[in-house]
Structure 1
Amino acid sequence: MPLKAAICDDEPEQAGMLERYIKEWSVSSDIKIETRIFPSAEAFRFVWEEEKDWWLILLDIQMEGEDGVSLAKYLRGEDEKLQILFITALPDYIEEGYDVSALHYLIKPIRRDKFFQCLDKAAKKEEEESYLLLTTVQGEKVRAAQKEIMYMEAFAHTVQIHTKEEILEVRCGINTLEEQLEEKNFIRCHRSYIVGLAYAARIKKKELLLDDGTSVPVSRRLFQEVNRAFVAYYRREESGEYGTGERT
């Protein structure tokens, strides 16, 4: 699923530039982003009532009507994990940014390299805090950190999620869970299995061997895709670009 980014700015030219930068960063970082522009704080508030799954909001502080600081305080009260990036021509509001735990504070004119650094930081933070919200077969609501998931195994009506500490059994389809996972950190290796690449130690023609010795089957049809994902993950790891599956 793509991450959702909102640009709340009453200057169309500025908003358009930020949208272009996000698209460029999305391509270069291989992270899917869905971006929408809002011309006022009030316009975003209206959408927020129905859509609260935003990853990042870029807020111009000085706007007609409600200002960005006021909107940020409201949003922080609603969602402690929403990442807020302030954009303004004046440095006078930096302390306000601390009050809402803003990701960063960018001064106009926006430098492309500085903006990309902020997006890198936001993406890393999202990966570190990425969870699945699950309902077990016992009806218990639990959160599973994606970086802790070793593999998933599907059965007729349930899926077992094997983490570093426990096995969670949930009543849903494995396809539904796959849609919620960080794509670059997991691979579907069989119609009934998904593996966290951080825990894959070795790949063979018919199986993936995990760090703890677990053998997970690899279907013939998916072998090439699994092999590419395995190699790509460890190339990123060697370059220092850790994802959700980073070992701790």
Structure 2
Amino acid sequence: MTYQIAICDDEEKQRAYIKSLVEGWLRQTFHHTKIQEYASSEQFLFEQAYDRTQILFLDIEMEKMDGIALAREIRKHNRQMQIIFVTGYMEYIQEGYDVEALHYLLKPVSQEKIDSVLDRAVERLKTADAVLLVESGGEVLRLPLKEIRFIESNRNYNIIHADNDYEVRGTLSELEAKLDEAFVRVGRSYLVNLNYVRRIGKTELILNTGEKLPVPRGSYKKLNEAFIKYF
């Protein structure tokens, strides 16, 4: 498989530097890639690069349209692109969660950090088409994991909240065993897809859909650690 990687930064030297690190990763992993450079958010949008890019290294501080604004536009067209912000500032991290960024790389960026984040991006892309097979309403359904926001335990049933709500028999633990690392347990009653989490508080968890789930006492620290580790 050939991975489509893009670098969007208004500084030519920074684009060249990130490209050299990506090429260093390629020499170690032997993946096939095509690397494209963009000097601005506007160029990226004009060329409709969101249709083909799979992994994007995106600078935040750019003239006119910044990286956060570009990421919001990208998410209108492409939910699977692995967006990696490259920045010198920590203050944009919350906005990164809102656009489901894979990771933040703080400048100066090292080869080790590039290697790690690209390995994660490739693994995410490999599992992007993973599905959960369930029986609901007398039918066997294939539910893409990427579309499942959370699963709620309701006595002898579980309710899977995705594009629709699906009621399935079994235990929450049985479903948990079939899911990937994006899903974490929230107390005894919920499994949540971290890709949809906007904010974690000590008493409730808020999804980017506005839905709120209760966080049981004593669960905040473990849940927050899982969230930070995943992203």
Q: TM-score w.r.t. structure 1 length?
A: 0.51
Q: Percent identity?
A: 35
- Aligned twin of 2:71: 72
Deviations 1:173-194, CA, capped at 9 Å, x for gaps: xxxxxxxxxxxxxxxxxxxxxx
- Aligned twin of 2:80: 81
Unaligned runs of 5+ in 2: 131-141, 145-231
Deviations 1:105-159, CA, capped at 9 Å, x for gaps: 111111210111000000111112258xxxxxxxxxxx9x9xxxxxxxxxxxxxx
- Aligned twin of 1:121: 120
- Aligned twin of 1:185: none
- Aligned twin of 1:212: none
Q: 1:7 aligned to 2:10? A: no
Alignment partners' CA distance in 2, 1:14 and 1:130: 33
Q: After TM superposition, give the deviation of residue 27 of structure 1 in Å.
A: 2.1
Q: Secondary structure at the match of 1:84?
A: strand
Alignment partners' CA distance in 1, 2:48 and 2:118: 21
Conserved 8 A contact 2:71-2:99: yes
- Aligned twin of 1:48: 48
Q: Secondary structure at the match of 1:87?
A: strand
Alignment partners' CA distance in 2, 1:28 and 1:97: 29
What amino acid does structure 1 have at the position aligned with 2:80?
Answer: K
What amino acid does structure 2 have at the position aligned with 1:24?
Answer: G
Unaligned runs of 5+ in 1: 132-142, 146-248
Conserved 8 A contact 1:5-1:35: yes
Sort the Cα spacing of 1:16 and 1:80 in 2 relative to 1 into closer, same or farther, 3 A.
same
What amino acid does structure 1 have at the position aligned with 2:53?
Answer: W
Conserved 8 A contact 1:73-1:100: yes
- Aligned twin of 1:28: 28
Q: After TM superposition, give the deviation of residue 23 of structure 1 in Å.
A: 1.2
Conserved 8 A contact 2:25-2:114: no
Alignment partners' CA distance in 2, 1:14 and 1:121: 22
Conserved 8 A contact 1:23-1:33: no
Map residues 122-141 of structure 1 onto 2, 5 A cutoff: 122-130=121-129
What amino acid does structure 2 have at the position aligned with 1:27?
Answer: R
TM-align CA RMSD:
1.8
Q: After TM superposition, give the deviation of residue 14 of structure 1 in Å.
A: 0.9
- Aligned twin of 2:206: none
Alignment partners' CA distance in 2, 1:26 and 1:68: 25
Alignment partners' CA distance in 2, 1:44 and 1:8: 7
Alignment partners' CA distance in 1, 2:26 and 2:129: 18
Higher Cα radius of gyration: 1
Conserved 8 A contact 1:60-1:87: yes
Q: TM-score w.r.t. structure 2 length?
A: 0.54
Q: After TM superposition, give the deviation of residue 76 of structure 1 in Å.
A: 1.0
Q: Secondary structure at the match of 2:57?
A: strand
Alignment partners' CA distance in 2, 1:92 and 1:77: 24
Q: Secondary structure at the match of 1:91?
A: coil
- Aligned twin of 1:246: none
What amino acid does structure 2 have at the position aligned with 1:63?
Answer: M
What amino acid does structure 1 have at the position aligned with 2:101?
Answer: A
- Could you list the structure 1 runs, at least 4 aligned residues long, displaced by more than 2 angstroms after superposition: none
What amino acid does structure 2 have at the position aligned with 1:16?
Answer: A
